[in-house]
Amino acid sequence: MAMATSTPVEVLSAVFQVREPVDGRATLHVLLQRSGAAEPWALPGGDIGDRETLAAAARRHLGTQCGLTRVAHLEQLSVFSAPERIPGTRTIASTYLGLVPRDVPAEPETMDIDSPAAASWFDVDGLPPLAYDHAEVIELARGRLAAKLSYTNLAFALAPSRFAMSELSEIYGAALGHHVDATNLLRVLSRRGVVVATGTLGRTGRTGGRPPALYTFADDELVVTDEFATLRPPP
């Protein structure tokens, strides 16, 4: 009788933040790391401790590999179990979607991408070559994020604590991949009770005009607001 052997299990996290590249256009970025200059970029992750939950392991690797300790939302995404996903070693991956608010300083401690070990944020539409099936994990995480932005308040985990609707529409647009009108977004989110006015004003933008009204999310935990809603791109 053949003896049973245990299959290694790892945890991987696709963590997103809306950031502004040099051209000033807000885009969705994902956090990547690599263990050496000759290694491919990869999602943060690794082993699970004997007395550690999957989520705790995900947070531990984000901290040790990327210097990231503040994640506003972390949810299990899927299990990747293709026998040859890592050549030569049968390994199952439990994957997570993580989100970091725009106003949280999230510069990894090892930002030098030419150093032997590094961590950095990359635009999701301009990724470097990635290890194994990590590109598939990122694509699945992007789809989950876009879907949940339609029927939940999940944008609370990407937005700053207070924001003008123009900024929130930028965040939605970056995450969804298409333009989102600020006026329409305010109408939809107000009707659902997702955002509330703070009664304060923000700074005047670069083009001048009146200071914008500031809003905040009514909840800082995930809430289903309209289970049948879909935020579609403009015609």
In a domain, 162, yes or no: yes
pTM, entire model: 0.90
In a domain, 234, yes or no: no
In a domain, 60, yes or no: yes
**38 vs 175: CA distance, rounded Å:** 31
Average pLDDT of span 140-148? 96
Q: Which of 90, 46, 88, 40 is nearest to 65 (CA)?
A: 46
In a domain, 94, yes or no: yes
Helices (H), 13-133: 54-66
Kindly state the tokens that stand for 60. Answer: 């531990």
Q: What is the CATH number of the domain that holds 163?
A: 1.10.10.10
* Beta bridge partner(s), residue 48: none
For residues 117 and 159, membership in a common domain is answered with no
pLDDT per residue over 178-197, tens digit each? 999 999 999 999 999 999 99
pLDDT per residue over 120-136, tens digit each? 999 999 999 999 999 99
In a domain, 49, yes or no: yes
What is the structure's pLDDT at 228? 59
Which of residues 116 and 144 earns the better pLDDT score?
144
Amino acid at 226: D
Q: How many domains does the chain have?
A: 2
Q: What is the CATH number of the domain that holds 37?
A: 3.90.79.10
With bands split at pLDDT 50, 70 and 90, how would you rate the model's confidence at 1?
very low
For residues 48 and 128, membership in a common domain is answered with yes
**188 vs 190: CA distance, rounded Å:** 6
For residues 85 and 168, membership in a common domain is answered with no
In a domain, 144, yes or no: no
Average pLDDT of span 5-27? 88
**163 vs 201: CA distance, rounded Å:** 9
For residues 37 and 62, membership in a common domain is answered with yes
In a domain, 145, yes or no: no
**Percent of the chain at pLDDT exceeding 90:** 69
For residues 90 and 123, membership in a common domain is answered with yes
Q: Which of 157, 182, 188 is nearest to 170 (CA)?
A: 182
For residues 91 and 177, membership in a common domain is answered with no
For residues 164 and 123, membership in a common domain is answered with no
For residues 171 and 198, membership in a common domain is answered with yes
For residues 174 and 209, membership in a common domain is answered with yes
For residues 127 and 16, membership in a common domain is answered with yes
Domain that holds residue 155: 151-217
In a domain, 225, yes or no: no
Q: How many CA atoms lie within 13 A of 194 on its CB side?
A: 25
Average pLDDT of span 147-163? 95
For residues 101 and 197, membership in a common domain is answered with no
Burial class (CB in 10 A: 0-12, 13-18, 19+), 65: buried
What is the structure's pLDDT at 183? 94
Q: Which of 148, 6, 140 is nearest to 79 (CA)?
A: 140
For residues 129 and 17, membership in a common domain is answered with yes
| Strand pairing class (9-19; 92-99) | parallel
